Amino acid sequence: MSEATPPENNGRNTENSSSLEAAAEHNGEALIGDAHVQATDDIEAAPPGQAETHQEPIHAEDYPKEGMHIPHPGSVDAVFDCTIIGGGPTGLYAAFYAGMREMSVKIIDSLGELGGQVSALYPEKFIFDVAGFPKIKGKDFIVGCVEQGLQFGPTVCLGEKVEGLEKQADGTFLLTTDKYQHRTKTVIIAAGVGAFAPRKLPDAPELDALEGECLFYFVKDLETFRNKKLLIVGGGDSAMDWAMGLEPIAENITLIHRRDKWRAHEDSVNKVLRSSVDVRVFHEVKNVEHGNNAIKSVTIFNNKTKEETTLDIDTLVMCLGFIANLGPIRSWGLEIVEGGIAVDSTMATSIPGVYAAGDVVRYNGKLNLIATGFGEAAIAANYCKNFIDPTSRIFPGHSSEKSE
């Protein structure tokens, strides 16, 4: 075995319930876009993966968005009308709507950039189910979401993970992050599926050093793969989409899947099978040989015949799904149902003044769609306004009725 070789068969016997892709099919799976995500209560099961974000709140001059404010570090004197936990599409739309209702707004996100899971997982992929766009790339969609969400000048705190939520004697809330504290009259939790991390090869922590260099769990820049000898592992839509998207860019592509049944759409599978991509079913990764932060080769094996093949590969894309964890949210006293936050038709949680929207919420008939999240964000923002000022109307009228 090479220095990067995990224990024999890498712990991925197809008869073993710990098989990566088999685990991704257990109950508790959700979808982020088309990425398969499994919820877990194990805090250690979802460590950060392929970190490409800033660790500190960025400065306004580094983020070209007019009206964006960065708070004074450590200041808890200002009490905001509404604080939104999560800077993805749902959180940004909530910020827009709360701003339109003339509330002071703050956004807190643990990532170092706005856009949430769309920016982190599939910025180069097309989104087809957002109203008004027959298709739009994730990164372009987020540009519009950010522009809309920041037009009323909310305060934005990036690189902060909210760890605690406490109701104060005066009725406000104290939000404690891993860096600062924040005070607010209402809260909208738009945290998606919570903290998420990619499924990795088991018992191979030495490969973590290759993440973002020659080992990837999601694709942020297609040009990274130009003229590369690429191995894609997985059988879902992400694997198929990246295979087709990278075919004209990479030198060559091999795609392996542990079985001959696919989780991807039939049309996507057929396109890949008709392409120049070398598709091998019933194959899994046995070991990765590497050195000097580069992959030298990858050994795969047929899980039926046990035959091994060493591939001349320099880049590896693992599309084995993700693990998600609500983390500290579970300890805030909220009613948790099926790995999410229970809400009523007003998006109110079990704590008065705390609302939720997007993939994190649970109610009868819930659909995890960006379009659904937008509606939930508008409902939550309007009821936040009414919570702060009971004399205000819940429905403020249509935006087209307002003058510019």
* Residue 79 · residue 105 · CB < 8 Å: no
pLDDT of amino acid 403: 59
Three-state helix/strand/coil letters over the chain: CCCCCCCHHHHCCCCCCCCHHHHCCCCCEEEECCEEEEECCCHHHCCCCCCCCCCCCCCHHHCCCCCCECCCCCCCCCEEEEEEECCCHHHHHHHHHHHHCCCCEEEEECCCCCCHHHHHHCCCCEECCCCCCCCEEHHHHHHHHHHHHCCCCCEEEECCCEEEEEECCCCCEEEEECCCEEEEEEEEECCCCCEEEECCCCCCHHHHHHECCCEECCCCCHHHHCCCEEEEECCCHHHHHHHHHHCCCCCEEEEEECCCCCCCCHHHHHHHHCCCCEEEECEEEEEEEEECCEEEEEEEEECCCCCEEEECCCEEEECCCEEEECHHHHHCCCCEECCEEECCCCCECCCCCEEECHHHEECCCCCCCHHHHHHHHHHHHHHHHHHHCCCCCCCCCCHHHCCC
User: Can you tell me the mean pLDDT for 90-112?
Assistant: 93
Whether the per-residue pLDDT at 368 is higher than 70: the answer is yes
pLDDT of amino acid 35: 47
Instruction: Label residue 60 by pLDDT band (50, 70, 90).
Output: very low
Whether the per-residue pLDDT at 294 is higher than 90: the answer is yes
User: Can you tell me the mean pLDDT for 201-227?
Assistant: 86
Instruction: Label residue 219 by pLDDT band (50, 70, 90).
Output: confident
pLDDT, tens only, 136-192 = 988 899 999 999 999 998 999 988 889 999 999 999 999 999 889 999 999 999 998
16 or 288, greater pLDDT = 288
Q: Where are the domains of the chain?
A: 8-28+200-320, 60-195+323-401
Q: Tokens 């909210």 correspond to what residue? A: 162
Whether the per-residue pLDDT at 71 is higher than 70: the answer is no
Instruction: Label residue 196 by pLDDT band (50, 70, 90).
Output: low
278 or 265, greater pLDDT = 278
Least confident of 13-22, 26-35, 99-108, 237-246: 13-22
Same fold yes or no, 8-28+200-320 and 60-195+323-401: yes
When the candidates are 3.40.190.10, 3.50.50.60, 3.20.20.100, 3.20.20.10, the CATH number that belongs to 8-28+200-320 is 3.50.50.60
pLDDT of amino acid 310: 97
How far is Cα 84 from Cα 65, in angstroms, rounded to an integer?
18
117 or 177, greater pLDDT = 177
196: tokens are 């998420």
CATH topology of domain 60-195+323-401: FAD/NAD(P)-binding domain (3.50.50)
